Amino acid sequence: MTTDAHSTSNYIKIFWLLLALTVIEVAIVYMGLPKMLLASLLVIFAVWKAALVAMHFMHLKFEKKTLSIIAIAPFVLCVWLILMLMPDIFPH
Amino acid sequence: MSDAVAVHGGAEANDTPLTPENWGKLGMWLFLAGDAMSFGCLIVGYGILRHASNKWPVPAQVLGINLTAFMTFLLIVSSVWMVLSLAAIQDGDKARFKKFLGLTILGGAMFLGCQAYEWTHLLEHRLPELNIFFSTDLFATTFFILTGFHGLHVTGGVIYNTCVLLAVNRGRYGAKHVEIAGLYWHFVDLVWILIFTFVYLL
């Protein structure tokens, strides 16, 4: 029965959460916060929203682990890409 | 109830996505992982070019974020309609399914309309006013490549969802196919969330 619990009501809850996070994102851009603080907050909100979509709408939370490993692979590769490009980003 | 128990028991006994009934979903996830890498490379490349440039305009001031915030809203709503249409077809309610998938397609089409308006406005008015030219400016080039690549994905998604709607209507597709199409559509939404933050807000 637990699989039925995440049907309609939960989706609406996730929708309101996503909407609220988007409104907060836009609001803090208009607030004119210090650059580093603004950037960190925006990245946290973006990753949070992306995770909500993947976990709930794409059902990763309720899926087999193999699919989560496939989903995480590109993020690991992107971090690796950034690390490998570090010498170009910060040349001596 | 007995059905649910049987399905649940089967899933536990066979905890792998490599069973034939899951091949479609597995295939879509593998495709999305590759596609995420394409977007990842573009976003990382964008970040490096921006970091290396000595002058880069504040995106929110050039692009304006009110329309884009509305576009983000459209994609999020259309993602919700997609999950509701999947829930409907899983319940066997075809009329409700058609309504929600139709709304999903409409949301995607409206997003494309907004983007077409935004691009036209930027290319014909906003960018020339600021002396920013598509052909010579990294800010404009990276912007159009990222949003264009994503816009093509939305176009593909609208066509894909329309095909799914027609195929379900003719009785050829079922809940399984809708779930796979949903994965693609949510991925497009997820990527837009990242692009909205990195290209427009940051």
Residue A92 pLDDT grade (very low, low, confident, very high; cuts 50, 70, 90):
low
Nearest-by-Cβ selection for A66 from B16, B41, B189: B16
A92 vs chain B: nearest CA distance in angstroms?
13
Instruction: Report pLDDT digits (tens) over B12-68.
Output: 445 666 777 788 888 999 999 999 999 999 999 998 888 888 888 888 888 888 899
Annotate chain B with three-state secondary structure: CHHHHHHHHHHHHCCCCCCHHHHHHHHHHHHHHHHHHHHHHHHHHHHHHHHHCCCCCCHHHHHCCHHHHHHHHHHHHHHHHHHHHHHHHHCCCHHHHHHHHHHHHHHHHHHHHHHHHHHHHHHHHHHHHCCCCCCCCHHHHHHHHHHHHHHHHHHHHHHHHHHHHHHHHCCCCCHHHHHHHHHHHHHHHHHHHHHHHHHHHC
- What does the pLDDT read at residue A63? 80
Name the one residue in this structure whose structure tokens are 């427009």: B200
What is the pLDDT at residue B8? 46
* List of chain A residues whose C-beta atoms are within 8 Å of the C-beta of residue B198: 46
Nearest partner of B42 among B153, B161, B126, B182, judged by Cα: B153
- Minimum distance, in Å, between the CA of residue B170 and any CA atom of chain A: 26
Residue A46 has its nearest CB partner, among B40, B87, B197, at B197
Cβ pair A7:B65 closer than 8 A:
no
Q: What is the pLDDT of residue B16?
A: 67
pLDDT tens, position by position, A31-75: 878 888 999 999 999 999 999 998 888 888 888 888 889 999 999
Helix (H, G, I), strand (E, B) or coil at A80: helix
Give the pLDDT confidence score for residue B136 in this predicted structure: 80
Is the pLDDT at A7 greater than 80, yes or no? no
Q: Which residues of A touch B42 (CB under 8 A)?
A: none
- Using N-to-C axis directions, what is the helix angle for A65-89 and B23-52, rounded to 10°? 20
| pLDDT of amino acid B119 | 92
Contact B76 A26 (CB under 8 A): no
**pLDDT at residue number A65:** 84
Phi, psi at B104, each rounded to 5°: -60, -45
pLDDT for the residue B41: 93
Q: Please tell me the predicted confidence (pLDDT) of residue B110.
A: 96
What are the tens digits of pLDDT across the range B114-163? Answer: 999 999 998 888 888 888 877 788 888 999 999 999 999 999 999 999 99
- Which of A12, A45, A88 faces B48 most closely, judged by CB atoms? A88
pLDDT of residue B15: 60
Alpha carbon distances (Å) from B115 to B32, B42, B110, B175: 23, 19, 9, 31
Candidates B37, B85, B193: best to mutate against A (most CBs of A within 10 A) is: B193
Over the Cα atoms of chain B, what is R_g? Answer: 20
The closest alpha carbon to B156, from B5, B65, B31, belongs to B31
| Packed helices B66-90 and A8-31: angle between N→C axes, nearest 10 degrees | 170
Q: Under an 8 A CB cutoff, do A74 and B37 touch?
A: yes
Q: How far is A91 from chain B (nearest CA, A)?
A: 10
Judge whether residue B7 has pLDDT over 90.
no
ipTM reported for the complex, 2 dp: 0.84
Question: CA dist B144 to A33, B46, B149, B200, Å?
Answer: 27, 11, 8, 12
Is the pLDDT reported for residue B76 higher than 90? yes
Determine contact, residues A73/B32, Cβ cutoff 8 Å: no
pLDDT at B182 over 50: yes
User: For B45, which residue in chain A has the nearest alpha carbon?
Assistant: A82
Work out the pLDDT band at A8, boundaries 50, 70, 90: very low
pLDDT grade for B71, boundaries at 50, 70 and 90: very high
Backbone angles phi, psi at A6, to 5 degrees: -95, 35
Flag if B182 and A58 touch (Cβ within 8 Å).
yes
Distance CA A71, CA A89 (A): 27
